[in-house]
Structure 1
Amino acid sequence: MEYPYLVDESNLDAMFEMLDTTGQGYITLVQYKGALKTLGLSTQDLPYEDNANITLEIFRKEV
C-alpha cells in the first residue's frame, strides 16, 4: 500500500524559504535538523559534517 503525500514540493519550498531568511540559497545543518524534527523525521545518521550547507535541492530530496 502506498502512503499519501502529506507535504508536496510547494510546501517544502515554502518551508525552506522560511528557514533561509537571508536568501542565501542554503540553510545550516542545525536548521535542517530542526526542520526534520518538526516533521517527526529522524536526524540520526545524516551524511553531513557540522558545517554543511543544505541547499533546496537536498532539502526537497531528503525531506
Structure 2
Amino acid sequence: MDEANLAAMFGLLDVVGQGHITPAQYREALKTLGLSTEDLQLGDDVNITLDVFKEEQSARK
C-alpha cells in the first residue's frame, strides 16, 4: 500500500483528528480488514501516530 493510501486509511481511523489512534483502535481496524493482530508489538499505553502506522504497515509486508 502506498503512502497516500496509508495516510487516507489512518485518517479514517483518526476520526477526531487528534493525530494519533490507540492500539485498541488499530487492532480493531486490522481485524475488520481481516488481518492478524498476533504479531503486534504495541503496548496499550502507546498512541499510534501516522509515522508509526506507516512503519507497522511496512513491517507487515
Measured against the shorter chain, the TM-score band is 0.7 to 0.9
- Bigger-Rg structure (1/2): 1
Q: What does the per-residue CA deviation read over 1:18-62, in whole Å, with 9 as the maximum and x for residues that have no partner? A: 111111110011111122223333211322222321110011111
Q: Which residue of 2 aligns with 1:45?
A: 39
Aligned length: 57
Alpha-carbon distance in 2 for matches of 1:45, 1:15: 20
Alpha-carbon distance in 2 for matches of 1:58, 1:41: 17
- 1:55 is matched with which residue: 38, 49, 58? 49
Alpha-carbon distance in 1 for matches of 2:28, 2:42: 14
Q: CA RMSD in A?
A: 1.4
Give the TM-score, by structure 1 length.
0.74
**Identical-residue share of aligned pairs (%):** 60
Give the TM-score, by structure 2 length.
0.76
| Structure with a larger share of its residues in helix | 2
Which structure 2 residue ranges, 5 or more long, are not aligned? none
Which structure 1 residue ranges, 5 or more long, are not aligned? 1-6
